[in-house]
Amino acid sequence: MDTEPFIVFVYGTLKPGGHYWPRFCEGKVSETQPAKVRGELYDLHVGYPGIVFRGDTWVQGCLLTFPKGQDLQQLDWLEGYAANRPMDQNEYIRLKVPCFTTEGAPLGDFWAYEITDATLQRHQGSLIENGEWPV
């Protein structure tokens, strides 16, 4: 099992204070940092958002540092992602994206979960204009 630390950009229910923070992050995260990415944030009308990494608008969130790489498997499970599954059978896909400070300075590329087109269409997601969850 992978024990390397990893950093993930979160923008919804995994943010500090979010619905899934206590179960998946609290006590597991060694560092949080406010951050933003380029993309479009959508309300999926099911209690959590999805992001599509396209366009020039900003989506606000934060970077979470997990010292134990095994926690990534739990996030993959929560996000409905399996690397060995066809893309249209995943709810989200995990990929590395450029992240920035809240002021816009580059921080590097980190893991994030992008909603699949099939999931976005199934939930008839609505664009969140200000790029911040909760609405």
Of 101 and 134, the structure prediction assigns the larger pLDDT to 101
pLDDT exceeds 80 at position 110: yes
Quick check: 59 and 15 in contact, CB under 8 A? no
Distances (CA, A) of 85 to 46, 91, 124: 23, 11, 23
Average pLDDT over residues 124-130: 96
Which structural domains are found in the chain, ordered by start? 6-127 (3.10.490.10)
Quick check: 61 and 10 in contact, CB under 8 A? yes
pLDDT in the model for residue 76: 96
Q: What is the pLDDT of residues 60-90, one digit of tens each?
A: 999 999 999 889 999 999 999 999 998 889 9
pLDDT exceeds 60 at position 2: no
Per DSSP, the chain holds a count of helices (H) and strands (E) of: 3, 8
| pTM to 2 decimal places | 0.94
